[in-house]
Amino acid sequence: MRLHDALRWLAADAPVPVFAVAGAGAREAVQRLRLSEELRLVDTPRAGSVLLVAGGIPESLAEPLARVHDALPHPRCTVWWGPESEGIVARFPDSVLVHDDPVGAIVSAHRDLLAGRRRSDPPILPDADPAPWRGVGPYGQGGSGMTGGIPYGRPMAELGPDRDGLRLDVLPVTVGPFFPRFPVGLALDVTLAGDVVVDATVHPNPFVADGSPPLAARPGLAAFVRALAEPVRVAELELARAREHLRWLADALVAHGLPSLGSRVLRLAARVGPGDGASVRDLARTLGWTQVLRWSTAGVGRVAGEDARGIGGPVARAAGAAEDARAEDPAYRALGFAPVLHRGGDAADRWRQRLAEAAQSLDLAARAGDRRAEPRGRVESPRGLLTPESAATTRLLPLLPPLLAGQEWGDAVATLVSLDLDLEEAALVARQVAGAVVG
């Protein structure tokens, strides 16, 4: 057997490296794939062989998605999962379409790829310079592409003020909309001086723009959206809240370089039930004892004072603001509910806050019986106050530029992760305000 054939055989038997994009409605489903022994979700398209696109992708993200596709090395293929993707799938003509469990289709396509039974996906985008600048000056030099701008799609350094009052090289870059540590769709224009964020601008929410796919509340949010208009059992709401907080923690652990621990938390999120608060408290004690999160989040991304009170939810309560719509609900008052509070308002307090709230929610679910939260046009979602006119992410996005400025890039990412942004939830509200149908 030749070395090439031996390597190909070994690669076909190993977990498939997949770069996954979770579009509208697919966040939980893509998270669960992390538990598959047959797949290995990777953090960059350069490390993947298969591009998995799940759920609805807005038209405005078709070109960024094509750039992600073309960044995968050969041999490569694309798998589209879910009927919501069919609107733009025609731009990826060699794709595999699946509507149920995608693992078998991914493994099969990958083996065909390695065996030569399937051709590698050709590029989607034309092989052309994205920003022509050559020949601007008399000797091919000068022009806007030489001292700034993004010639050939590669940003060049400019001069700008730094936090010490000096003028140093700064680099403008765009991060997102498929950066794995951000929610899908979130893109930032960031100016960096070294690894320090000088300023940041948030792109508009693509799930709100024209050409966006139909939106329905994804499974983790469905109970809270229903509670805006109809009575919903407290036990159902609190179990959903606990699972959302644990799924967030699983992603946060991956972001902090702890994927194995993240997988354990993801399994815990799937199996917890009413009365399992002790399991979450054990997890919180373990994380606190090991200091695995505290050393990288203490003092990072502090949100306090009026900023925190204006946002509400776990972000506000982690800063000591007792803002929680459940305290106004007779069903919760009958259970003796009082908001859990922390004081510091930094990223470390936010992960402790969500763990404490997850444990409290499981306790409430066990004691709630058949009590129901009555519709009052406002409900406390896992991210904060949700009304037909406002969601927590909508209130958090304007806070990002001043919050990120001056942070080192690693701390900026830790801050964004700790805020638990959800562009889908924000888009549901925005479309409702605009009169669009929301399921």
The tens-digit pLDDT sequence of the chain (439 residues) is 577 777 777 777 789 999 999 998 899 999 999 999 999 999 999 999 999 999 889 888 999 999 999 999 999 999 999 866 666 888 888 899 998 889 999 999 999 999 889 999 999 998 776 555 555 555 555 554 445 555 555 666 777 776 677 777 888 889 989 999 999 999 999 999 888 999 999 999 998 876 666 677 788 889 999 999 899 999 999 999 999 999 999 999 999 999 999 999 999 999 999 999 999 999 999 998 888 788 889 899 999 888 888 888 999 999 999 999 999 999 999 999 999 999 999 999 999 999 999 999 999 999 999 999 999 889 999 999 999 888 999 999 999 999 999 999 999 999 999 999 999 888 888 776 555 444 4
Please report which helix (H) or strand (E) contains residue 127, including its range.
Answer: none
- What does DSSP assign to residue 56? B
Rg (CA), the chain: 23
Ramachandran angles phi, psi of 39, nearest 5°? -120, 155
Contact 262, 308 (CB under 8 A): no
Provide the residue type at 235 as one letter.
A
How many C-beta neighbours within 10 Å does residue 401 have?
16
Q: Return the structure tokens found at 238.
A: 């609190």
Q: Give the global pTM.
A: 0.89
> Is residue 206 a contact partner of residue 186, using CB atoms and an 8 Å limit?
no
